[in-house]
Structures are given as C-alpha cells and as structure tokens.
C-alpha cells in the first residue's frame, strides 16, 4: 500500500495518536480539525463563527502544504456539539468553496475534543 504521512507546522499538532493527514495514491485523508491555534494550546472559540473559521484555516494549512486548495475536496464530515450551530457553521463553511461543493454530512455528537463545538474532516483528490 502506498501511504505517506503528512504533518505541517502551519496547522495544529495532533493531540493524540494520529497524523494531520495521510496521502495514498491520489487521495488525501485529513484528520478532523478543531479550532486550535497552530503553535499553541489555545482555542479560537469566542464564537461559533470564529471557531469554524479557525477550523477551516487549519484545514487550509494542510491543503496548502500539499499544494492544493478547497477546490480539491471530494467529501467533508462536520461534527457539531449541537444542531443549533448548523446554520452559522454552514454560512462560514460555504465561504471557503465555490459552487462545486463537495459531498458532505453534518452530525451532532455528544462531545468533541477540548469541548469544542465544531470539528471537520476532509478527503481531497490530489
């Protein structure tokens, strides 16, 4: 199996036994990102919009490290602490894509790492 581990200092370091992303063939699997500010242990969570923007910036840093952007995203998974955040997260998320949106599911979960409200993972084509 063709497998390459991807980690960049411009995105938050993993907080567990995983990598920021794994590349296999022409696919990039990006681990779920939360609103950690790269290089710190701090969260950008003053609002759900700020939290979502930070998550998207963290994802963008990983994409950029691989020389691609959001236009390469095939699928995303959005995890929310509650569906009451759906509309606001959806607005921020939509700002990072053109009209060719990726496939996606959004689910509410009982809890997320560091008690954040949003976590997003992605699969991209390289």
Residue 19 near residue 112 (C-beta atoms within 8 A):
no
What is the H or E stretch that residue 58 is in? helix 48-65
CATH number at residue 120: 3.30.1330.40
Q: How many domains does the chain have?
A: 1
Rg of the chain taking only CA atoms, in angstroms: 14
Please state, in angstroms and rounded to a whole number, the distance separating the CA atoms of residues 51 and 81: 12
pTM: 0.97
Note down pLDDT in tens along the chain; length 126 residues: 799 999 999 999 999 999 999 999 999 999 999 999 999 999 999 999 999 999 999 999 999 999 999 999 999 999 999 999 999 999 999 999 998 999 999 999 999 999 999 999 999 999
Please state, in angstroms and rounded to a whole number, the distance separating the CA atoms of residues 84 and 65: 33
Residue 22 near residue 29 (C-beta atoms within 8 A):
yes
């Amino acid at each position: 199996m063709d497998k390459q581990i991807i980690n960049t200092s411009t995105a938050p370091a993993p907080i567990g036994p995983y990598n920021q992303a794994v590349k296999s063939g022409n696919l990039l699997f990006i681990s779920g990102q939360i609103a950690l500010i790269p290089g710190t242990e701090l969260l950008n969570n003053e609002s759900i919009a700020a939290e979502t923007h930070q998550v998207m910036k963290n994802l963008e840093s990983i994409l950029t490290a691989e020389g691609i952007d959001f236009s390469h995203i095939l699928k995303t998974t959005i995890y929310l602490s509650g569906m009451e955040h759906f509309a606001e997260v959806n607005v921020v998320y939509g700002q990072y894509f053109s009209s060719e949106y990726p496939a996606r599911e959004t689910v509410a979960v009982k809890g997320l790492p560091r008690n954040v409200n949003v976590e997003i993972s992605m699969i991209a084509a390289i």
